[in-house]
Structures are given as structure tokens and as C-alpha cells.
Amino acid sequence: MLLFADTEFADFESLDPLSVALVSEDGSHEFYAEIFDCETPPSDFVRQIVLPLMQGGEHRLLYSEASERLARWIAALPHHPTIIVDYPGDWIILNEMLTSAGMQSKPAALMLFPAFELAGRERLGAERAAIELAAEKMPALMEEHFLLDPRRHHALVDARATAHGWRRALQGLISD
């Protein structure tokens, strides 16, 4: 099972998370949380672009609550997942959250753009070749999703766009 992840964070130095989202390959499983006890002051970009997109409500959690919910959500999935990220900081944030929640058996992780192994290569097998081929086509295909939902830099929207790009890239590989 592939999960496409995205995070938003206060700045590139601290990677102090503000939101985290994961979407399954088929879109049937989604996780989204906003972390309101971030201690790092947000950058100007985050203050102007990211923060206005935050949803609040039931998604607004303490870091510890978001980490625990994330670990429980992953553990409840029907198959052990591989997490796909498009920025190394996303995996750093997710790994730290899962570690803080005490998760022992963490998912494998791959980074797209370019397809670069971060961890767990031995668990991927044949999936890896398909991921690398699809990654080349995905950026343009992700733009289709942003035409439907233009809230770029909202973690859940970005994760959905990546999952959409993946599905469309695979359709292209199958029909080519």
C-alpha cells in the first residue's frame, strides 16, 4: 500500500510541523492534522500563504496528539504502507512524529523528484521501478488536481495532488 504524504512547517531550518497529511494510492484512506503548539515563529511565506489555508476545528491538535493519532491510523491500515514524499523534510517530520508516538515498525519511505530511496529499499521490490517511472511524469499530472482544488500548500490538498499524479502516471504507463 502506498501513502502519499505532505507536511507544512514553520520554516526550512526548524522543520517544526504545522500540518501533516497522508493519502492512500486509491484515495480511500486519508489522514490530516494541524499542529497548533508549534514553537517556531512561521516564516513570512508560511504566515502569508500556508496559515490562511488551515482548517482548524477537529484537525487542530497538540503535537503529541497528532503523533499518536498518526501512528494509530497507520497501524490500522489494511496493509503495511510505503510512504511517498516529495521533500526529505516531510519524511523527517513523519519519522519524528512516529518515533515520539512509540511506533516500532515504521513504514518504508521513498522520495520522488527525483525518485530517491530514503529508507526501506529491501521492502519495495518491484514497486520501486514503477515508482521511478511514474515520478518522471507526475509533476505535470499533479497540476490537474490543482485546477480542481487550487489550495496549493495545504498539506492535504498537496498529498491528494501527489496521489492523483501517481494514478494518472500509472495510467499512462499501462496505456503506453
Q: 7-61: per-residue pLDDT in tens?
A: 999 999 999 999 999 999 889 999 999 999 999 999 999 999 999 999 999 999 9
The per-residue pLDDT for 117 is 44
The residue that leads in pLDDT, 127 or 49, is 49
The helix (run of H) or strand (run of E) holding residue 60 is strand 60-61
Cell output for 160: 491528494
**Residue given cell 510505503 in the structure block:** 82
Mean pLDDT estimate for the chain: 85
Which has more confidence, 128 or 155? 155
Which CATH number covers residue 124?
3.30.420.10
- Do the Cβ atoms of 105 and 77 come closer than 8 Å? no
3-state DSSP assignment of residue 31: strand
Question: Could you give the number of structural domains in the chain?
Answer: 1
Residue ranges making up the domain that contains 92: 2-175
Give pTM, 2 decimals: 0.84
Q: Band the pLDDT of 129: cuts 50, 70, 90.
A: low
In angstroms, rounded to a whole number, what is the distance separating the alpha carbons of residues 29 and 32?
Answer: 10
Q: Residue 34 has what pLDDT?
A: 98
In three-state secondary structure terms, 151 is coil
- From residue 17, how far is each of 1, 10, 74, 122 by CA, in Å? 25, 6, 18, 29
Q: Compute the distance between CA of residue 168 and CA of residue 173 in angstroms, rounded to an integer.
A: 9
Q: What is the pLDDT of residue 115?
A: 43
- Does the pLDDT of residue 131 top 70, yes or no? no
